[in-house]
Amino acid sequence: MSDYGVTTRDQDFSQWYLDVIQKAELADYSPVRGCMVIRPNGYAIWEKVQAALDRMIKETGHRNAYFPLFIPESFLKKEAEHVEGFAPECAVVTHGGGAALEEPLMVRPTSETIMYHMYAKWIKSYRDLPLLLNQWANVVRWEMRTRLFLRTTEFLWQEGHTAHATAEEAEEETVKMLRVYESFAQDHMAVPVYIGKKTDAEKFKGAVRTYCIEAMMQDGKALQSGTSHNLGQNFSRPFEVRYQDQNQQWQYCWQTSWGVSTRLLGALIMAHSDDNGLVIPPRLAPTEVVVVPIWRSDEQKSAVMAYVNEIRGLLDGRFRLHIDDRDNFKPGWKYSEWELKGLPVRLEVGPKDLEKRGAMVVRRDNRQKESISIDGLVDGIRRVLDQMQADLFQKAFDFRTSRTRFLDSYEEFQSHMQADPGFVWAHWCGSAECEATVSEQTKATIRIVPFDESDGLETPGAPAPQAGKCILCGKNSPRHVLWAKSY
Ligand SMILES: [Zn+2]
């Protein structure tokens, strides 16, 4: 247990995670099993995530819309793999208004089917393409084992759904959105991610190909943080999403879907936080700077508060700012509270700072202190925030490097996954049987198959393709794939 009442990461990582969420007041359990209440501190971070991503989604040409929560049961059954994948997780509404419904309604687990039913109505000609829509919504998947933010029965997300005239355009879109997620994770969340392909076993049910971003948490486990699917014509055929081409011929559309969810908050917590609580990367911090005034007497208080107001005037509008002038708490108590809640920068302002016309600037992540004069305060805080954002990424990147290995022996692979899980680059022959056996025996799964030349893009940080022998069966393997235990 740390001084802050948080279970340490070394003691029990999963209890640490829950302690951080509870102490930072991010979320709570609901009376409905498996569902989560997102508290204001957690929701404010989600709103920052939404704002940044929404801008990126719109900058790439998409528009937002909203589709119904309920989906007729028959819709889900139109795509064979899709229904097989999702039906067991669906909540089904059988009654409404006191009477049994003629057709049961599924609470959306994802919205491909209801959206494409509408797309079929709206798309008539090649002139209507591409259709590029996104929706911010909640979805429900009946989960047996839940964990706050990472896996909950109801969660919040965005789902983008597009329709295109050609297979090439759909592939381009799938990659484009994967890259959007990659840069959001790295530039905003300060979480390094590997991009790559999912194996058939791990791909979205109904997709031709699934691409994803995969991050490492501080316990060495992987967290799939976003996915982008090339759906080919798997949905456009059963839903008759068609267009007339320039020669008045009817053609089926090529489609994509892509999403990220409140799971990202789980990634943010597990990638950066420490035994003193939450650490929020500055770019996603609802409040960047908290000012804590320090006084011992009423006389000091009025002088310090006048000075704090001067500082407020300087910082207001430039930073997301909070002045903690509560009378009934001591400064030390406030420091620990704001550390637990993860605010990136704390300004301590007392009589000595007033005398020197400065302020003590304290960084949350490494607790570095620096006295900065009031003239240099705006630039100084900006510099500290930028440095913290960059350092968090670098620290997570270095951690990932330190917990990534190349392994050729299955025995070593097994003991490694048991003792000290991390990312492992190992050879795989490509067979679903080998993949299934390894995951059964070690609980590790293939997180990504790196992109190669035939995909027209690469996986930054992945080893160059190199032939070898499958870690399980010893047959030929064209390249290493990334294995890890995952959330
Ligand atoms: Zn094999």
As residues whose CB is below 5 A from the ion ligand 1, the structure lists 429, 434, 470, 472-473
pLDDT tens by residue, 460-483: 999 999 999 999 999 999 999 999
**Ligand 1 centre and the CA of 405: distance in Å?**
19
- The per-type count for the chain, helices as H runs and strands as E runs, is 14, 25
pLDDT tens by residue, 24-43: 999 999 999 899 999 999 99
**Ligand 1 centre and the CA of 427: distance in Å?**
8
Query: How many C-beta neighbours within 10 Å does residue 283 have?
Result: 18
Q: Is the pTM of this model over 0.85?
A: yes
What is the pLDDT at residue 86? 86
**Ligand 1 centre and the CA of 474: distance in Å?**
6
**Ligand 1 centre and the CA of 477: distance in Å?**
8
**Ligand 1 centre and the CA of 442: distance in Å?**
15
Residue 468, both tokens:
């070898």
**Ligand 1 centre and the CA of 212: distance in Å?**
23
Residue 373, both tokens:
């004069």
pLDDT tens by residue, 447-456: 999 998 888 8
**Ligand 1 centre and the CA of 434: distance in Å?**
5
**DSSP secondary structure of 235-283:** THHHHT-EEE-TTS-EEE-EEEEEEEETHHHHHHHHHH-BTTB----GG
**Ligand 1 centre and the CA of 482: distance in Å?**
14
What is the pLDDT at residue 83? 84
Distance, CA of 183 to CA of 196 (rounded, Å): 14
Angle 4-9-10 from CA coordinates, rounded to 5°? 115
Residue 58's identity, in one-letter code, is K
Low-confidence ranges of the chain (pLDDT < 50): none
**Ligand 1 centre and the CA of 39: distance in Å?**
46
Q: Could you list the beta-strand ranges (E) of 8-69.
A: 27-29, 36-38, 63-64
Query: How many C-beta neighbours within 10 Å does residue 101 have?
Result: 15
**Ligand 1 centre and the CA of 394: distance in Å?**
35
